Amino acid sequence: MSRYIKERIVEEYAERFREVSDVAVVDTEGIDANQMVALRQALRERGLEAMRVQNRLCRRAIQDGPLAGADPLLDGPTTLVWGADSIVDIAKGLAEEAKDLSALEIRGGFSQGEVLSREQVDDLSKLPGREELIGQLLARAVGQAARVVSLATAPASGLLARIREIEKREPEEAPAEEAATEAPAKDTPAPEEIGEEAPEQAEATDAPEAESQSEKAPEPQKTREPPEGDPDAS
């Protein structure tokens, strides 16, 4: 292999793993080409990428990147697997594929600057993934919120029903109460009105009686005096 080709491979590795911090290392020595194609397709469906690398050139490519320190894992036929959200998702995906592909051997892993053994990767595969954790947290939060709401509203349910009952009754009772309060004001005149109208009414009622009495009373008859010298006067 020429020097130029090696430099291009190193550049390709450096570009590919520039932002990769979590990776699993698997040994694919017993896997043929067709099985390797099927494995890559299955991992891609899980959001993972797999790439067989040349160890010496890969060490040069990752020495200044996030995977610096993963050199102990680059020994023998090496395939790097990365992607998804975390090393947990990578480990879970590989564990599922290893059930159908016995030749797939997990050598170890690398996460956040630390080298992980095969046993540690296997333990990580048994943990819930990011989406599972989010689902569990949401389910727990929703359950607690529903419980708080039920506890907060249960004691007030009777009071709320009573308030609604009163609100329904108020419009029906209001007219009767208004009529009861307005009735005396319409039938009974105010004291000031009584004081002002009383003399006029008294004069109006007394005047006809006076006139009728004056009409009925006979006028006194005047006695006629006889003229002087009238013989009948004596």
Q: Is residue 183 part of a domain?
A: no
Asked if the model's pLDDT at residue 222 lies above 80, the reply is no
| Whether residue 154 sits in one domain with residue 113 | no
Task: Looking at the structure, tell me whether residues 12 and 104 fall in a common domain.
Answer: yes
Instruction: Evaluate whether 88 touches 129 at the Cβ level (below 8 Å).
Output: yes
Taking the C-alpha atoms of residue 106 and residue 103, their distance in angstroms, rounded to an integer, is: 10
Q: Is residue 43 part of a domain?
A: yes
Q: Is the confidence at residue 82, as pLDDT, over 80?
A: yes
Q: Give the count of alpha carbons within 13 A of 19, CB side only.
A: 3
Say yes or no: 142 and 122 in one domain.
no
- 234 vs 226: CA distance, rounded Å: 10
How many domains is the chain built from?
Answer: 2
Task: Tell me which residue range forms the domain holding 158.
Answer: 133-175
With respect to residue 93, please indicate whether it lies within any of the assigned structural domains. Answer: yes
Residue 81 confidence (pLDDT) above 60: yes
Q: What pLDDT is stored for residue 53 in this prediction?
A: 94
Cβ neighbourhood burial of 225 (10 Å; 0-12, 13-18, 19+): exposed
Environment class of residue 71 by beta-carbon count within 10 Å: exposed (0-12), middle (13-18) or buried (19+)?
middle
- Cβ pair 90, 23 in contact under 8 A: yes
Mean pLDDT within 88-115: 91
From 127, 153, 186, give the residue that closes a domain.
Answer: 127
Task: Give, in order, the Cα–Cα distances in Å from 117 to each of 5, 26, 82, 107, 204.
Answer: 33, 12, 16, 7, 123
Strand partners, 111: 22, 114
69-92: average pLDDT: 91
Top mean pLDDT of 75-89, 156-170, 184-198, 216-230 is at: 75-89
Angle, helices 3-16 vs 55-62, to 10°: value is 60
pLDDT at position 215, please?
47
**Nearest-5° Cα angle at 80, 75 to 82:** 150
Residues 52, 12, single domain; the answer is yes
Q: Could you tell me if 70 and 23 are in contact, meaning their C-beta atoms sit under 8 angstroms apart?
A: yes
Give the mean pLDDT of the chain.
74
* Pair 104, 161 in one domain: no
Closest CA to 53 of 115, 114, 107, 125: 107
Q: For residue 114, what is the domain's CATH number?
A: 3.30.70.1730
pLDDT tens-digit readout, 146-182: 565 555 555 555 656 666 677 776 555 545 545 445 5
pLDDT-based confidence at residue 234 (cuts at 50, 70, 90): very low
Distance CA 100, CA 36 (A): 13
Same domain? 27 vs 102:
yes
49 and 103: one domain?
yes
Whole-number percent of the chain with pLDDT over 70: 56
Residue 128 CA to residue 101 CA, distance in Å, equals: 23
- Tell me, what's the pLDDT at 141? 64
What pLDDT does 233 receive? 45
pTM of this structure: 0.55
Contact yes or no for 70/22 (Cβ under 8 A): no
Q: What span, in angstroms and rounded, lies between the C-alpha atoms of 75 and 14?
A: 18
